[in-house]
Each structure stands twice: as C-alpha cells, then as structure tokens.
Structure 1
Amino acid sequence: MIQKFLTILNKSLAAAMVVLLFVGVTQKIEAAILFQDQTENESFNQYKGKVVDEDSNKELVFASLSVEGSNISTVTNTEGEFSLKVPSSMNEKSVIVSFLGYKSKTINLSDLKENNNKIALKTSVMELSEVNVIVPKNAEELLRETLKNKGENYFESPTLMTAFYRETIKKRKKNVSLSEAVVNIHKSPYTSNQRDNVELYKARKSTDYDKLDTLALKLQGGPFNALFVDLMKYPEYVFTEETLPLYTYSFERSARINDKLIYVVNFKQKNENIDRQLYQGQLFIDAENKILTSAIYSLNITNKYVASEMFVKKKPAKANVYPTEVAYRVDYREKDNKWYYGYSNVLLEFKINWDDRLFNSVYSMTCEMAVTDWEKNLSGNLKAKEKLRRNIILSDEAIGFSDPDFWGEYNIIEPEKSIESAIKKIQKQLKKDKIGGTVAVSDPNP
C-alpha cells in the first residue's frame, strides 16, 4: 500500500516534468502570449555585477539581491552574475545581498555602478557545539514542527507574484534550446489547500533542432515544474505522515544568515526502503522560529525502469530513455516577519541508449524561477481562460529571440555566457523553415 502511495506521490511531483521525445516532423511555430496593460512608463536604473566568496573569489550561485523597503529582488546565475532593475525613484535605497552560510551585506544603490560591480561576502559557518543554544535531540521532530507551523510563519493572504522563469535543454554541455517567460503567480495562502495558478505575461524561445538528433525534446509543465518544489506549500510531494518515517534525519552544522541561526538537517531514505524512489538532501531551518528557509534535495534513482516511467511519456521505438539525475532546490525570503517562496530550480538529466547507434546521447533539462516582485492579491481569482495549463509546454507558447528590450523593466536572471552564445547561434536557425515537432499529452495529475 505504501509503495503504491509513494509511486503516486512521485508521479505527482514528476507530473509537470514529463519529457516528450518524438521523431522530428515539420510544423510552424505558433505564438500564444497573454499580455496585460503595462503600468505608466517609469525610468529604471540597471545594475550588473557578480557576487563572490571574499576569500576564494569563487562565484556564489543563486545569491539573493533584494531592494530594502520594497518587494524587488533577483538572484545570481550559475556564474554568480546578476542584473537588477530598480525604478529611478528608489535610487536612495539600499540592496541587501545574502547567501546561505554567508554574512549579508547592505549596499547603497547610489554606490553601485551600471556594470562590473563585484560584491564579496564573508562566510558565517559554525559547528553546533559552538552555538550557545539548546540543540533539538530529534531532527525528525524539528521537521514535523516546521511543517506544522507553516500557517504562522508564511504568507497568510492571497499574493500576486511577478516571476521570471527559464528552462534550458542541453545536449551534453551544449545548449540546444532555451525558453524564458515572465509570469504572474496567483499564490494562495500557505494555510489553504487551494493550488497556485499561473498567468503567462511574456515568453520567448529558441531551439536549434539540428542538434537534437531529429528529436523534439521538450519539458511539459513549464513554470509549474519550479512552483511545485515549494515544499512548504506542497509538502505532500516529499513529506507526509506515511513517508516521514521512511527517512533517517541528522544534524550536520549550523549557519548564521541575516543574524538568524539556521540548523542544517540531512535526510535520506532508510536502507530497508532503498528499492523505493524516495529523496535525500538538506533542509535549512530557522532555529528560533522553526522556519524552512531553503532546501536542496534529489531523487534516489534506485530503479531506472521505474524512474523512466515517472518522467518519460513518449520516446522513439528504437531507444531506451533513463533519468540519471533529478535534483531540486527551493529558497524562501522574508518580508515583515513572514516568509514566502522566492526561488527554485529543477535539474533533469537523461541518457538515451539507441538500438542502432554505437554511442548514446545525454541530455539535461533545467528549469528555474525567481520571484522578482509581489503584492497582496486584491484582484481576485483568474478566469479559466487566463490560467496556464499544468501540462503546458512553454516552448509551444513562445516566440523567438528578436527584441533586445523584450523584458522592459522586468527583472530577469542574468543569462549565462554560454546561453548568450547559444542564442546568437540559434537566432540563425530560427530564420530557417525547418522546425521540429512534438506530440503533447495530457497531465496525468491535473
């Protein structure tokens, strides 16, 4: 019974992450973009730079930058680079730069340059034995208390979030497809069982089909991939009364973030359950208030055949497709003593073994989403026609890269150099008529 339940849970978490593999056919690119009225034009200042470790000069990936006294924020990319757009009227404000395990730094916006800013953070890590607090004896009970307290510690009101979403497909280390979108997340209270809805505002995509082995490999679910990683909103995908006892828990170390003591809790599936597709990773929990501030975890692929059924819905007849890595990350942010979903990413890596080829193919699909602004939702619920489908394929709803000012005043995650290079190459491909196709399937868990 439990195994059947776990299979349903894992499929639910994977439902928005279905890979479509289909022999390429020709079709036209269709664009379906929902636009909303823009606010009055206001001038913006843009700041670019890099966040690094002060001692090693190593780039800090997914560091957070938030404008003090506002809801504006962004994160660094996998090369530690950031791009932050701020209304000119906020030029006298400061930006708070933070990263897990490091001391936050507050910098006046007026002290930042337009480009080439370098922000160095100091580490702030200590052993639990060095901390003058009572350490919980039971890590599992700490997690249970954290999940129980979500109504007190996280947003209690409907919230309208503006977020930037990106999904990338790579063949080994080369980018072959890139889709981006600005979306509005209609987030329900953390105390509510109602699911969040997403509205597409702007989207664009580029794909080099020649590098896809005549395959149209696409990610089903779009922004919902990243949204469902919000463990405090959707704990049932990883932790339930049935699954909590199937893990072992332990304390590793502690860290200070924004002057808050954070416990680091390791969890992994027990050996007697090793044949099940469970998870392992780390939870970063506020020691005083029992708040999950971040989580990094991955799926234990103990049976590649079962894992393949979870993620692969369509594939060529002469190929076997297996996921080799499935990893997740979610970060939360604080505003007025309440926490909310701020950033998440998902990595899916697949190996394709061809019956009639000597060498296999390796693809990775990455999606990430960062909340860049939010406000209380006073506009009510979305109409049915405005809601994104949970089985959406974003690349089918987007147009190509053409307008350099496409995003206007919206904050985005700074593109990686490799992605920028891929876009330039892909643009040439977009001018051709040879477009690969795909077959869409319905979401098994709508």
Structure 2
Amino acid sequence: MVLVVFSLNAQAVFTEYSGKIIDGRSNKALEAVSLNINETNIGTITNSEGEFVIKVASDYLDSKVTISLLGYDTYSVPLSQLAKADNVIKLYVAVTELSAVSISAFKNAESLVQKVFRDKMQHLDDQSLFMTAFYRETIKRRNRNVSLTEAVVNILKQPNSSSLRDAIQLSKARKSTDYKRLDTVSVKLQGGPFSALYLDIMKYPEHIFTEESIKIYNFSFDEPSVINNRAVYVVNFIPKANVVGVNYIGKLFIDVELLALAGADYALDLSDKKRTKNLLVKKKPKDIVVYPLEASYKVAYKVNGKTWYYNYSNLNLKFKINKKKQLFNKVYTLASEMAVTNWEVNSTDKRIKIKDRLKPTMVITDAISGFSDPNFWGKYNLIEPDKSIEFAIAKIKKNIEKEKQDKKKKSS
C-alpha cells in the first residue's frame, strides 16, 4: 500500500524541549497536561508521570508555550526561558467562584446538558480539518506489557454537520506483540486509532448521549472548576434507578461563557456482573467468559477563539478471562490514547484515498525494527512513554540486537 503522507511543516527545522509538570504544592506529577505553542496548533500532552517532549519549528521559537490542566491556573512561559531538557514546571490549583446566579440561570443541570448537545453546532468548526495525531496503545497481561503500538496518524475530520465519517491514514507506526502471552484472547483485545477517535462525543454523541438517552440519567452540579483559565461548570451524571441496560457514570466539563463541552471523564457502570458478562466482546471461544473489571474514558477539547476542537482522548479497559478447566484467571488491560499534535483547516480539500484509509477494525501490523531506531519519529510530536513502556522498549531493542548477532553467527 502506498501512502500519500500529509506532513504539516514538513521542511521546517525543529528544536526539542522536554521536562516534567508537577503540582506546585505537593510536587506530584500531573498527567494529561496540555502544552500548546501560542498562535499555532502545535501541542502535546504529558504522560502519566508528568513528563513531556515537544518539538517546535524554528519559525516559532520566539513564541510562548501555554500549559493547562483542569482545576489548575494556566501557565505561559516563553520558549526562550526553557532549557532543552529537564525542565520542571509547577502548576497551582485554581480558586474559582461562580455565583449562585450563574447556575440558577438553568432550570437544572439536565437542561444545561441538553442545551450543550442541542446547540453544539454554534461552537464547533463546521469545516473539514486535517489533523496530525500521535496514538499509543498497550496491552498488558497482569502488569507485564505484551503488546505495544505507537503511530502517527493523519485524520481527515469531516464537517460536524456532515454525515460522512472521519477518515484515518497511517503515516508512521511501530508495533511489537508477544502472541504467546496473549494466547487465545488476542483477537478480543484489538483496539486501534478509531477506538480513541470515537470518544469525540461532540462528533459521535450516539456513543453516550442521544436525545433519548439523556433522559435516563440524573444530572447534578458539582463544584465549578477552570480549564485554561476559563471557568467551567462541572456536571455529574449517573443512571436513574431501575434503568435497564449498561450505562455510564461520570462528569462533564462545560465552558461557562460559551456553554460548550470542554471535556468529559466517564466510565461504564459495571456493578451488575451478570449484565456486563462478555460486554465489549464481539467474538470469543465457547469455553471462555470475559468479565470487564474497568472501562473508563476521557475526552478533552481545545478552544480557539470561540470554536472548540477535539484535542485528546484515552480509554482504559480491564478484563478478567475465565477459561473452563483452568485454575487461574487471566487479567488483561488495554489502554490507548490519542493526542492531536497539529492541525489545519482543510482549505485545499486534501483527501485520503479509500485504499489508504484504516478500517475501524484494522489492527496495525508488527514493525519491530522501529524500536531500534532512536530517530524513528523524526520531527513528529509524540507523548513521552512511561517508564514501564520505556522498559518494554528496551527489552524489544535487546531482542532485536540478539537476533542480529544470532544471524551474524549463523552466516559466519
């Protein structure tokens, strides 16, 4: 398959900055912090250990980087004041006060949520967008990594009013899977970039809230917060009592000024084991029963002027696999995340050919050799790997070197 790769600022020279974002009082590492270069669409996200790396084109080295996280004051610093590595940046919890009048403008929290979804087109860009994103997926058996996938993808975001589905094209990827440790359940834990993209609930509300499904939830106001120095309503939601089916529990973060969704954290209600048995499994052997232990999701949006754009999403699925006549259960975790690292309005009508599009069910094929190349990602922005993933990559590199040495010995 020949890929036509659209790379934003492909010819530019880049400078890399790295460091860690921590809580200013507790020194605790802060996960999923957004870093964006001012007056551009270049950005990245910190990993679970608060670490980041961001590559900036030489044209923007006089710019500032803006650092933001839900519940914290936004911090902006000139790139000229950052070292190339080992930066430690502190964020401080924001104090926000919303008057009772602000909340009483709505009959109740449910009426606010209905308005957000009903009027969403007022705050979403109804143009075609071309995005570059970094995607990472890990599968663990217990605490051991058995599959690691990383990819840079091009996303053709269709206008929100369009019935056309978004398209994803693989630009660059690497993957290694230990199929012996995944054994017979490997096909049950297939993910992919579409699994993260479909968490864009403004584009795909059918996955959580439709006009009808909103009615099955109880909504309530929580303490307000801030995102990027903008006040947000925090709305809790839980299924109403005696509602049939499997539903969600979570929080919505709604911009106070624009009444647009700034983000959401939610999870499947898995309290009823009988009802959730084999949930999220499309196909399985007859002698296997799958119990989901966790299914949590997160999506975040970025505002540009008065328009909101999909920026980041992640999911975490944990399963217990019971197999007949086996004494011990097996526990697998699938975690995936995708961060938009650059985007532009598709004014030149760029397209992704049908033959080059990833299918929602497609699994990225193995490309182990990429893990041995320290310059594999080149100028692409990515999410820094966690220490556990770095350890897994180190083991993969050792195996690659061992294979090379074994081949040399055989040839000699």
Shared fold by TM > 0.5?
yes
C-alpha distance in 2, partners of 1:373/1:243?
A: 34
The aligned counterpart of 1:443 is none
The aligned counterpart of 1:187 is 157
After TM superposition, list the pairs within 5 Å mapping 1:89-108 onto structure 2. Answer: 89-108=59-78
Deviations 1:389-433 (A, max 9, x none): 111112458865222111111100000011000111134456769
The aligned counterpart of 1:284 is 253
After TM superposition, list the pairs within 5 Å mapping 1:29-68 onto structure 2. Answer: 34=3, 36=5, 41-68=11-38
* C-alpha deviation, 1:354, in angstroms: 2.6
**Which amino acid is 2:298 matched to?**
R
The aligned counterpart of 1:266 is 236
C-alpha distance in 2, partners of 1:398/1:244?
A: 45
Structure 2 residue 352 is the aligned partner of structure 1 residue 379: no
C-alpha distance in 2, partners of 1:155/1:406?
A: 33
The partner residue of 2:222 within 239, 245, 252 is 252
C-alpha distance in 2, partners of 1:199/1:308?
A: 34
The aligned counterpart of 1:347 is 316
Structure 2 residue 324 is the aligned partner of structure 1 residue 330: no
* C-alpha deviation, 1:286, in angstroms: 0.7
**Which amino acid is 1:312 matched to?**
V
The aligned counterpart of 1:109 is 79
Preserved contact between residue 247 and residue 270 of structure 1 (Cα < 8 Å): yes
* C-alpha deviation, 1:288, in angstroms: 1.9
C-alpha distance in 2, partners of 1:41/1:381?
A: 21
Distance 1:193 1:209, change over 3 A: same
After TM superposition, list the pairs within 5 Å mapping 1:200-215 onto structure 2. Answer: 200-213=170-183, 215=185
CA RMSD of aligned residues (A): 2.3
C-alpha distance in 1, partners of 2:275/2:90?
A: 44
* C-alpha deviation, 1:88, in angstroms: 1.9
Preserved contact between residue 34 and residue 202 of structure 1 (Cα < 8 Å): no
* C-alpha deviation, 1:324, in angstroms: 1.3
Distance 1:254 1:131, change over 3 A: farther
Q: Secondary structure at the match of 1:34?
A: coil
Question: What TM-score comes out, normalization by structure 1 length?
Answer: 0.84
* C-alpha deviation, 1:98, in angstroms: 0.2
After TM superposition, list the pairs within 5 Å mapping 1:31-430 onto structure 2. Answer: 34=3, 36=5, 41-126=11-96, 128=98, 134-213=104-183, 215-217=185-187, 219-273=189-243, 275-304=244-273, 306-377=275-346, 378-395=348-365, 400-429=370-399
Q: Secondary structure at the match of 1:426?
A: helix
Q: Secondary structure at the match of 2:11?
A: coil
Q: Secondary structure at the match of 2:335?
A: strand
Question: What TM-score comes out, normalization by structure 2 length?
Answer: 0.91
Distance 1:71 1:40, change over 3 A: closer
**Which amino acid is 1:72 matched to?**
I
Q: Which runs of 4+ in 1 moved over 6 A?
A: 130-133
* C-alpha deviation, 1:306, in angstroms: 4.8
* C-alpha deviation, 1:125, in angstroms: 3.9
Deviations 1:153-189 (A, max 9, x none): 1112100000000110011222121101101110012
**Which amino acid is 2:70 matched to?**
L
Runs of at least 5 residues in structure 1 that lack an aligned partner in the other structure: 1-31, 434-446
- Comparing 252-261 with 232-241, greater Cα deviation is found at 252-261
* C-alpha deviation, 1:194, in angstroms: 2.1
Preserved contact between residue 199 and residue 297 of structure 2 (Cα < 8 Å): yes
C-alpha distance in 1, partners of 2:29/2:117?
A: 32
Preserved contact between residue 179 and residue 395 of structure 1 (Cα < 8 Å): no
**Which amino acid is 1:74 matched to?**
T
Preserved contact between residue 164 and residue 412 of structure 1 (Cα < 8 Å): yes
C-alpha distance in 2, partners of 1:216/1:121?
A: 40
**Which amino acid is 1:315 matched to?**
K
C-alpha distance in 2, partners of 1:57/1:226?
A: 30
Q: Secondary structure at the match of 2:223?
A: strand
Q: Secondary structure at the match of 2:131?
A: strand
Distance 1:194 1:354, change over 3 A: same
The aligned counterpart of 1:20 is none
C-alpha distance in 1, partners of 2:118/2:199?
A: 18
Q: Secondary structure at the match of 1:401?
A: helix
Q: Secondary structure at the match of 2:393?
A: helix
Preserved contact between residue 35 and residue 65 of structure 2 (Cα < 8 Å): yes
**Which amino acid is 1:276 matched to?**
G
- Comparing 148-157 with 176-185, greater Cα deviation is found at 148-157
Taking only the aligned residue pairs, the percentage that are identical comes to 47
Deviations 1:80-107 (A, max 9, x none): 1111000122111000000001110000
* C-alpha deviation, 1:44, in angstroms: 0.9
**Which amino acid is 1:329 matched to?**
K
* C-alpha deviation, 1:129, in angstroms: 5.3
